[in-house]
Structure formats: structure tokens, C-alpha cells
Amino acid sequence: MKLTDFKVLTFDCYGTLIDWETGMLEALALLVKRVQPPPSNDQVLAAHGRHEHFQELWTPTRRYSDLLATVWKRLAEEWGVPASWEEALAYGQSIGSWPAFADTVEALAYLKRHHRLVVLSNVDNASFAKSNARLQVAFDAIYTAEDIGSYKPAPRNFEYMLEKLKTLGLEKKDVLHTAQSLFHDHGPAKAIGLSSCWIDRRHDRGGGFGATVRPDAVPAYDFRFTSLAEMVKAHRKELEK
């Protein structure tokens, strides 16, 4: 199996293309500084991941920006600190300020020359539009949690994507799902029979699984790279042979 075997790369966005953990921590700083003793970054991200996943399960049709406002409220309650609803709403609107990883724009521009590019993301459309401006690429299709009415790792998100890809003339065998989260992406991708590529952005960070939930077991994947730049390097090498 080679990267160049696939016609379409389907991407998770947040954690893979957008550095959501840096964005989250910067946007949460106002709340975190009220906590004594202050939690570590890893503790903040783990707590965020727990509350976010719980909220996604209970309110699967809620827009992601609004869902994040509730996560802010739940964090404040867990930490026993004051927080206004206006602050919570502002946190939900911070998605557009979350930065892209340093290698994302160049890598996407290269991969676009060889594959169709598609997004499957736990986000709402308005928020993704702001992030997409940072990515500087025209995706061939964008499928959001707002479109689908559920959040990954729900199998229906991947089923929806595959059904819509058929309308573009693409079958399951043509797809390489490319993502950072083992929990949200690689587990359900493998369960539905998709090939997948793990972009292990947290390989040098430690601290567990960051803002994603720890999977019950590490799912299988077909490729692993520590960055998109490393993936591009491997892709170029395949073309040279």
C-alpha cells in the first residue's frame, strides 16, 4: 500500500491541520488563571476533552461553537471559579483564531496537486469557514458535524462522508482518511473499512492524549507520520521510484 494509491485524502481538521490545543489554551487562559492552584496544560486539555465529548454525545445536533460555550461553563463549575455566559460565548467564537500548524499550508498545497482533498470535521460551518481561510486551500468537499447532525466518533459521520463521496465518483477504496485523533478518527475509520494515516502531532508532547479522549485500545492504521511535512516527504519519495 502506498500513499499515491489513493485518489482522495479525507482530513480531520482540528488537531491535524489546525493546532487546536494551542488555540484552546490561549482562549482558556482567562478562565484558567482564576483556578488555584492552577492546573497544568495537560490537565486543562484532558478536562476539556472529557466535557467536550460528553456534550457531543448528549447534544449531537448542537453547533460546535455553541457546544464550546457549554464546555467553558462546565470547566468553570468543575474548577469552582466564576464565569459569565458572555465569556463562554466568546470562547465558542475563538475557533477562528486557532492557528494552523506550521507545515499545514505548504503540505496541503502540495497534496492538492496529486489528490482530491476533503474535510470531515467536528465543527460548524461558520467556524470552519474562518479556519479554512488560514488553510489557504480549496477543498473538494467539506462535511461538518453541523451538516450531519452528530459528532465523530459516531459511525454515521463516516457513512455520510462515503455516501457523498460516491456522488463525486469516489469509492471507499479510493479514500485515505488522514487524522491525528485515534479516538475520533482512526477507530471508526477502521471499523467502517477505511484506510487511514495517523498524523501523530503529539509524539513529542507527552501528557497522554491532550484534548482527545483516550481510546479503549489503540486502533490499527496504515501509515504513521509525525507531521504533514513528513507525509509529504514520503509522498515525494514514492513518486521518485
Domain ranges (residues) in the chain: 3-19+100-240, 20-97
What pLDDT is stored for residue 171 in this prediction? 96
Reported CATH class of domain 3-19+100-240 = alpha beta
Q: What is the pTM of this model?
A: 0.94
Q: How far apart are CA 144 and CA 175, in angstroms?
A: 17
What pLDDT is stored for residue 213 in this prediction? 83
20-97 has CATH 3.40.50.2300 classification: no
Inter-residue contact 61 to 42 (CB < 8 Å): no
Q: How far apart are CA 114 and CA 95, in angstroms?
A: 29
Q: What is the pLDDT of residues 2-53, one digit of tens each?
A: 999 999 999 999 999 999 999 999 999 999 999 999 999 999 999 999 999 9
Q: How far apart are CA 210 and CA 12, in angstroms?
A: 16
Q: What is the pLDDT of residues 91-106, one digit of tens each?
A: 999 999 999 999 999 9
Q: How far apart are CA 17 and CA 11, in angstroms?
A: 8
- Would 3-19+100-240 and 20-97 be classified into the same CATH topology? no
What pLDDT is stored for residue 125 in this prediction? 98
Out of 5, 12, 140, 204, the active site residue is 12
Q: Please work out, in degrees rounded to the nearest 5, the angle formed at the alpha carbon of residue 146 by the alpha carbons of 140 and 147.
A: 50
What pLDDT is stored for residue 205 in this prediction? 77
Residue 240 pLDDT > 70? yes
Q: How far apart are CA 176 and CA 9, in angstroms?
A: 5
216 is catalytic: no
Residue 139 pLDDT > 80? yes
Q: What is the pLDDT of residues 155-205, one digit of tens each?
A: 999 999 999 999 999 999 999 999 999 999 999 999 999 999 999 998 887
Residue 210 pLDDT > 90? no
**pLDDT over 90 for what percent of the chain?**
91
Cell numbers linked to 128:
470552519
Q: How far apart are CA 66 and CA 190, in angstroms?
A: 30
* Helix H or strand E segment including 179: strand 175-179
What pLDDT is stored for residue 209 in this prediction? 84
Q: How far apart are CA 87 and CA 27, in angstroms?
A: 10
What pLDDT is stored for residue 129 in this prediction? 97
What pLDDT is stored for residue 207 in this prediction? 62
Q: What is the pLDDT of residues 101-120, one digit of tens each?
A: 999 999 999 999 999 999 99
Inter-residue contact 201 to 183 (CB < 8 Å): no
